[in-house]
Amino acid sequence: MATLKAKYPHEPTFLQAVEECAEALAPILEGTSAEADRNRRCFAAMVEPERLIQFRVSWRNAKGDLEHNRGWRVQFNSALGPYKGGLRFHPTVTADILKFLGFEQVFKNSLTGLAMGGGKGGSDFDPRGRTDAEVHSFCNAFMGELSRHIGPDTDVPAGDINVGGREIGYMFGAYKRIMNKDQSILTGKGLNWGGSLIRPEATGYGCVYFGQCAFKGERGLGMSGLKCVVSGSGNVAQYTVEKLIELGACPVSVSDSAGCLIKPSGLTTADLAVIIKAKTVDRIRLSAVKLAGAKYVAGSIWANLPAAVDAAYPSATQNEIDATAAKALVKAGCKGVFEGANMPCSREAVAVFKAGDVVYGPGKAANAGGVGVSGLEMAQNASRANWTREVVDVKLQEMMAGIYDAAVAHAPAKTGAVRDLEVGANRAGFLKVAAAMSDFGWI
């Protein structure tokens, strides 16, 4: 870590992700055995991306003027298959953020059991407030640069923040024109041109399925009646709430960057429809006014918790839960935290959860359902098949149960009431990649 920090002092988010992983892997990296030596050599290689591509994206705005953005693709590790990971369009995107996400993606993809390596990419372009024509212009220019670095057997990107069906469609159309090929080089596609059912829902659904397995395995609890706090209001949060309702739990909140909507009696399917339909920047506040029994509170949901909480599903952004918020959750009776977002809990928060015997499902395990169904989309494309919603949902449930089982199998012996699923998930994901790298003679 000292060496890595000296090399990348300007990349704190990436360094945080690596250090958290290193702490979990410490017992299998230390020692004098041949296996420990192999693991150390593998980890030293894994923390450096195989390839980091940066390029300029020049495109014309509505006035006909040229604008310039930066684009990246971080191809982190291909030991288990072609690079796989989303594209994010947001002004906060940097190499640091993408390296953090790509590093996490390697472990996440390994845990799915599918043949996928890990990568991530995107641009500091912000599609919000842009016309469709401007977004189309940017996506064409972005794919003009990215197309030379991706392919069905090389790198298959997907969507991420601000990259939805519209952006995927524009980029896929550009790739087809550039390469004159119809290949599965993007996932999250439209259903009528190669997409998979349940792909938009997969991250949220999968997070709930993982939590369901963990609650049953660690606490002997079912989902019925559990009071659940959910942050965020995008795809992940929406479908987390939807699945919680379906399984009989009681989701009580959603949020955005300005504030949170809290309904102590629990959100209903009809409530969720109102929230989704409110396509405005201020939709959480406006939705709270429309829903009987709901209230709007400015600020973070983690600073405005209900009196009693059984489970938390942070689904907004990295480091949204700090130690103070974690202590409040423990005090409110929280029994499980399952990360729908990537690294939403700070290192200090995770320590609080573990000390309080809270079942903690790290993002690389709990939110792997999204990339898992992206892998299933690739399988359908390869065979020119379309699976039913029921088939995909069963495969997603089996995948999340398998991830939980892998975390349990590699977790250390209990020191409290529950197993350390974070350590188990990191070890399970790492050892599979390490074995492949060793077999290839890469370390």
Q: Decide: 227 and 253 in contact? Cβ < 8 Å.
A: no
434 occurs within a structural domain: no
193 occurs within a structural domain: no
Q: Decide: 156 and 184 in contact? Cβ < 8 Å.
A: yes
Tell whether 147 and 231 lie within a shared domain.
no
The percentage of residues in the chain with a pLDDT greater than 70, rounded to a whole number, is 100
Residue that is last in its domain, among 318, 343, 366: 366
Residue that is last in its domain, among 366, 393, 425: 366
Single-letter code of the amino acid located at 400: M
Tell whether 107 and 145 lie within a shared domain.
yes
Tell whether 155 and 215 lie within a shared domain.
no
Q: What is the pLDDT of residue 280?
A: 72
Q: What is the pLDDT of residue 167?
A: 97
Locus of tokens 């596609």 = 189
Is it the case that residue 62 has pLDDT exceeding 80? yes
53 occurs within a structural domain: yes
Tell whether 174 and 238 lie within a shared domain.
no
Q: What is the pLDDT of residue 282?
A: 87
Q: What is the pLDDT of residue 229?
A: 98
Strands 155-159 and 227-230: unpaired
Q: How many domains are contained in the chain?
A: 2
Global pTM reads 0.94
Tell whether 213 and 337 lie within a shared domain.
yes
> Among residues 375, 422, 377, which one has the least CA distance to residue 403?
422
Q: 72 versus 280: which is more confidently predicted?
A: 72
Q: Decide: 215 and 336 in contact? Cβ < 8 Å.
A: yes
Q: How many Cβ atoms are within 10 Å of 58's Cβ, its own excluded?
A: 14
Tell whether 286 and 355 lie within a shared domain.
yes
347 occurs within a structural domain: yes
Residue that is last in its domain, among 366, 395, 428: 366
Q: What is the pLDDT of residue 366?
A: 98
* pLDDT band of 415, cuts 50, 70, 90: confident
Q: What is the pLDDT of residue 281?
A: 75
Tell whether 163 and 305 lie within a shared domain.
no
Element (H, E) at 337: strand 336-338
Q: CA quadruple 96, 186, 431, 54: dihedral positive or negative?
A: negative
Could you read off the pLDDT of 20-54 as tens digits, one per residue? 999 999 999 999 999 999 999 999 999 999 999 99
Q: How many Cβ atoms are within 10 Å of 340's Cβ, its own excluded?
A: 32
Q: How many Cβ atoms are within 10 Å of 271's Cβ, its own excluded?
A: 22
12 occurs within a structural domain: no
Is it the case that residue 278 has pLDDT exceeding 90? no
Tell whether 268 and 360 lie within a shared domain.
yes
73 occurs within a structural domain: yes
55 occurs within a structural domain: yes
CATH number, residue 65:
3.40.50.10860
Tell whether 99 and 165 lie within a shared domain.
yes
CATH number, residue 331:
3.40.50.720
> What letter would DSSP give residue 345?
B
Tell whether 333 and 213 lie within a shared domain.
yes
> Among residues 365, 27, 45, which one has the least CA distance to residue 217?
365
Mean pLDDT along residues 115-143:
97
Give the residue numbers spanning the domain of 159.
49-182
Could you read off the pLDDT of 348-393 as tens digits, one per residue? 999 999 999 999 999 999 999 999 999 999 999 999 999 999 999 9
What are the residue numbers of the active site?
120
Alpha-carbon distance of 416 to 262, in angstroms, equals 32
Q: In what order do the strands lie in the sheet with 253-255?
A: 253-255, 259-262, 295-298
Tell whether 336 and 220 lie within a shared domain.
yes
158 occurs within a structural domain: yes
Q: How many Cβ atoms are within 10 Å of 435's Cβ, its own excluded?
A: 14
Mean pLDDT along residues 67-82:
98
